[in-house]
Homo-oligomer: A and B are copies of this chain.
Amino acid sequence: MSDWLWILFQLKGTERLTNFVLTPRDRGGGGKKPWGFSGIRLARGKYTMAFLTVQFTSEILKVGCSLNAILPQNTANFRAAYGGPPRRPFPVLWLFHGLSDDHSAWSRQTSIERYAYERGLAVIMPAVNRSFYTNMVAGAPYGEFIRQELPMIARSFFQLSEARADNFVAGLSMGGLGAFLQAMSAPESYAAAASLSGVLDPKERIARVRREAAEGDPAAEIFEQELGYILGDLDAIENHPDYLPTLAGRMALRQKQGLHVPEFYACCGTEDFLYEDNLVFRRQALELGLPLTYEEGPGGHDWVFWDRWIQRVIAWLPLKNS
């Protein structure tokens, strides 16, 4: 891209320029929140959020687990920024990590606490190992854990809203897929879901790993085997209960039936090895007429990109009166 474009991009301008128009919601998604949150300038950087690390027991995984959490605090700064105390129970962003990360990745590699503050959001950051947020065929039922048990447990500890309008889920890479699976498995429960650099074309992803394995790449061979333990028969991935295109189709059906469908957001770096996969999903969503806001910009599959774009995701979230 030209230097001039690059300059504009640095201005956090290009997201809008490269923003595909899919649906009214889409434009809304881009336009609803003017970049900069001018309404709450006053509070900027004067954080009053609490940061929590939690050790708990999962009965579904039958093992001790960890999660990190961020909770708004009712302080003068907060009230000055929002004209009132934090809404309670808190609206909550369920934020998912990538393949090689754990529950601590988002808080260590980005300023997530500061960004969540801009919207008065609680943030729950769980860990699912390398499970792809699904019930492993040869392993633990992480899908059940993340979809049923985690919300139940987090809500028993903290004052988190159970209202659909207050529940959002987002994640990066493997967690981008996880966020979409979470929302599509329980569309009644989530207002919106966002994927950053998500693994959104599982079939091609698997095919690529197998090609590389066939070509004798030892890392790919090991990964192909691991994917088998997680997903089962890789030749029949279309039949997997968490196969993304199938779930996306169901969302389209719900729409036709006038049932609630969460708003979706996907972004990817144009230098990301998953860029093509994201374009594929965008096309599928377009054909299905799903409410997807898609954005892209320069960047790779790394935290430099995610630290910038999680701000974009949080700005996009369709929060009511926040």
* Closest partner residue, chain B, to A11 (CB atom): B10
A114 CB to nearest B CB, Å: 5
Q: Does residue A243 face the partner (Cβ distance < 8 Å to B)?
A: no
A56 near B44 (CB under 8 angstroms)?
A: no
Q: Does residue A35 face the partner (Cβ distance < 8 Å to B)?
A: no
A303 near B111 (CB under 8 angstroms)?
A: yes
A14 near B8 (CB under 8 angstroms)?
A: no
Give the interface residue-count category, chain A: 35 or more
* Closest partner residue, chain B, to A110 (CB atom): B111
A55 near B104 (CB under 8 angstroms)?
A: yes
Q: Does residue A161 face the partner (Cβ distance < 8 Å to B)?
A: no
A65 to B9, CA, bound (A): 35
A71 CB to nearest B CB, Å: 5
A300 proximity list for chain B (CB < 8 A): 44-45
Q: Does residue A259 face the partner (Cβ distance < 8 Å to B)?
A: no
A75 near B52 (CB under 8 angstroms)?
A: no
Q: Does residue A298 face the partner (Cβ distance < 8 Å to B)?
A: yes
A315 CB to nearest B CB, Å: 14
Q: Does residue A20 face the partner (Cβ distance < 8 Å to B)?
A: no
B14 near A305 (CB under 8 angstroms)?
A: no
B114 near A64 (CB under 8 angstroms)?
A: no
Residues on A close to B: CB < 8 A? Answer: 1, 5-14, 17-18, 44-48, 50-57, 59, 62-66, 71, 73-76, 88, 97, 99-105, 107-111, 113-114, 127, 129-130, 138-140, 153, 156-159, 229, 298, 300-307
